[in-house]
Structure 1
Amino acid sequence: MSSSVAYSTIDHLKKELPLKQETLLLTDNTCIGLVLVDIINGFCTVGAGNLAPRVPNKQIAEMVEEAAKLARVFCDKKLPIFGFLDSHDPDVPEPPYPPHCFAGSLESKLVPELEWLEGELNVTLRLKDCIDGFVGSMETNGSNVFVDWVKTNQLQAVLVIGICTDICVLDFLSSVLSARNRGILSPLQDVIVYSRACATYDLPLYVAETIEGTVAHPQDLMHHIGLYMARGRGAKVVSEVSFTTQS
C-alpha cells in the first residue's frame, strides 16, 4: 500500500469515526493521580527487545518526552504517580507475543528519561505479567494494589498515559471504567487518557506479510482506534494538559 493510499484510508476513518478531544485544566486542589503504562525500554527504546522499535519512531519518542514532562510536574506538586512495568517469567509465554520484558532485565526497566522516578516518594511502581494492569495489580489474597492506591490517595480522577494505546492502555482503561461503574474505585469519578502522551507500535502490512502468524498494525490507524474505543467505553480523551494555580 502506498503512503498516499494509507493516508487516505486513515483520513477517511477519522472522518467516519471522529474523536472528540478536550483540554484538561488542573488546579492545585484537583485530586488526581498519574498512571504510566509500560513506558519501559522493551517497548520504547530502539533495539531493546523483540517488541521494541527497530528504528527511531516519532510517535513513541514524543510520547516519552511528554510523559517525562508530565511526571516531573506531578512530582513537583507531590501528586501520586502509579507506574506499570511489564515484567514476565521467561517460562510463562504471553501469546500471541514473542518473548519480551523478562523480569529483572533492562527491557523491563523504565526508559532513561523516567529512571529518576524510582527514587520519588510519591511514586508507586508495579511489575505486571499480563496486558491489563488492573488484572496485573491483583494479589493472591484478593486485594488489588491499584484499587488500594486510588483509595489511599482519595483520588477523584486518574490521568492515564503510555504504550500501547490500543492494547495495554485500552485494556487497563476498560477495566478501570468497569470497576468505577461498579463502585469498586470510590471516590474515583473521571478516567482520562492523554492522547499526546500515548503511543503504539508500527507494523505495516508489507512487513507483516513477510512474518508468519503476524497481523498488520499500522501505527497512526491503531492509535486513533485505541483512543476512539477508550472514549466509547467512557474515558475522557484530552489533547492538552495544563495546570493553573488558584488564587
Structure 2
Amino acid sequence: MDMFVIPGRKCLGRKVTEWRINMKRNLMQKREDAMLSLLAIEEAWQELAALKLTDLDPETTAVVFVDVIEGFVNIGPLSSNRALDIIEPVKQLNEKTRGWHKIYFRDCHTGDSAEFSAYVPHCLAGTAETELIKELAPDEGERSYQIFKNCTNGFMAEGFQKWLTAHPQVTNFIITGLVTDICVMTFALTLKTYFNEKNTVSRLMVPLSTVETFDLPLTNHQAELMNTFAVYNMQMNGIEIYREFE
C-alpha cells in the first residue's frame, strides 16, 4: 500500500495544520485588540462634558430632530423600545430651546420607495408612522420647519436644501434623534463635509442622551456596538460629542 502514498503528503498536512492554528491565533489577537480599542473609546466617553446651551447663540444655531416619529418609537416594523430612552431628553431639549431655529425631520415614503430595497416598508405617507411623537410638540412660527425625507440622509431632502440656502448664518447644529448609526450619522457627516468643502467654520454637536439605535439579531445589528461605531466615526470627523446638555 505504501506505493500509493504521495511523497511529502504528511509534511504538507502538518503545514496546513500549522497555518490554520496560526490563522486562528491571529484572528483571536485581532479580536482582542479590537475589544481593547472599543473599551478605550467607551471609557474616554465617560469623561465627556455636558453641552451648555447658554454658550450658543440662538441666531446662529439650529436644533435638529431626526426621525423622532411614531414609526421609529411606538409603531411599525422599525420601532424600537430603545428609542423610548431618548424621549424625555429630546422633549426637554425642545422645550429649553423654544424660539431657536428648529428642524424636525420626518421619514416619509411612497410604496415604491427605492429605499425599500434595503429596508422593509416603513413610514408610508399618510400613515401614523410619519407623525412626530406626541411628546415632541414642534415650535410654532417661522423658525420651525418640519421636513419630509425619502431616504436615510435628511441632508438630501429638497426641503432641507432650501432651508440651508435660506439660512446661511446658521453654522451651529445640535443633532438629535433616531437612529444613531443610520439617519443621524449620515446627516451629520454630510452636513459637516458640506461646511468643510466651503471652508466654513461650523459646530455640529451630538448629545449622547438624545440619540439611540436598535437591536436586530437577525442582521447582527447589536445596538451598543453600532452606537459606538457611529459616534466614534462622527467624532473622528470633527463632530462634537457630549454626554448630555444643560
Q: TM-score, normalised by structure 1?
A: 0.77
Secondary structure at the aligned position of 2:175 is classed as strand
2:152 to 131, 146, 168: 131
Per the alignment, residue 121 of structure 2 pairs with 99
- Quickly say closer, same or farther: Cα 1:36–1:29, change in 2 above 3 A: closer
Matched, 1:35 2:64: yes
Matched, 1:108 2:109: no
Per the alignment, residue 241 of structure 1 pairs with 245
Per the alignment, residue 209 of structure 2 pairs with 196
Secondary structure at the aligned position of 2:112 is classed as coil
Q: CA contact under 8 A between 1:10 and 1:221: conserved in structure 2?
A: no
One-letter amino acid matched to 2:231 = L
Per the alignment, residue 179 of structure 2 pairs with 164
1:220 to 221, 224, 231: 224
Q: Report how far residue 32 of structure 1 moved.
A: 1.6
Q: CA contact under 8 A between 1:33 and 1:80: conserved in structure 2?
A: yes
After TM superposition, which residue ranges in structure 1, 4 or more long, deviate above 6 angstroms? 8-11
User: Which protein shows a greater Rg?
Assistant: 2
One-letter amino acid matched to 2:162 = V
Q: Report how far residue 218 of structure 1 moved.
A: 0.8
Per the alignment, residue 193 of structure 2 pairs with 178
Q: Report how far residue 232 of structure 1 moved.
A: 1.2
2:234 to 230, 236, 239: 230
Per the alignment, residue 72 of structure 1 pairs with 95
More strand by share: 1
- Quickly say closer, same or farther: Cα 1:65–1:10, change in 2 above 3 A: farther
Counterpart Cα distance in 1 of 2:56 and 2:226: 35
- Quickly say closer, same or farther: Cα 1:203–1:84, change in 2 above 3 A: same
Please list, as runs of the form range in 1=range in 2, the aligned pairs for 1:52-91 lying within 5 A after superposition: 52-53=79-80, 57=81, 59-75=82-98, 78-91=99-112
Structure 1 stretches lacking a partner, 5+ long: 1-7, 209-214, 243-247
Aligned-residue sequence identity (percent) comes to: 26
Secondary structure at the aligned position of 1:27 is classed as helix
- Quickly say closer, same or farther: Cα 1:29–1:239, change in 2 above 3 A: closer
Cα deviation code 1:176-221 (max 9, x no counterpart): 011010128x5x51011111100001113xxx1xxxxxx2111111
Cα deviation code 1:36-69 (max 9, x no counterpart): 1001111111xx111112xxx2x41121211111
Cα deviation code 1:80-135 (max 9, x no counterpart): 11111000011224121010001121001101111x21645531110000011101
- Quickly say closer, same or farther: Cα 1:227–1:239, change in 2 above 3 A: same
Q: CA contact under 8 A between 2:210 and 2:244: conserved in structure 1?
A: no
More helix by share: 2
Q: CA contact under 8 A between 1:93 and 1:99: conserved in structure 2?
A: no
Structure 2 stretches lacking a partner, 5+ long: 1-31
Cα deviation code 1:160-185 (max 9, x no counterpart): 0001100010000110011010128x
Q: Tell me the number of residue pairs that the alignment of Structure 1 and Structure 2 aligns.
A: 209
Matched, 1:49 2:76: yes
Counterpart Cα distance in 2 of 1:29 and 1:49: 36
Counterpart Cα distance in 2 of 1:29 and 1:168: 24
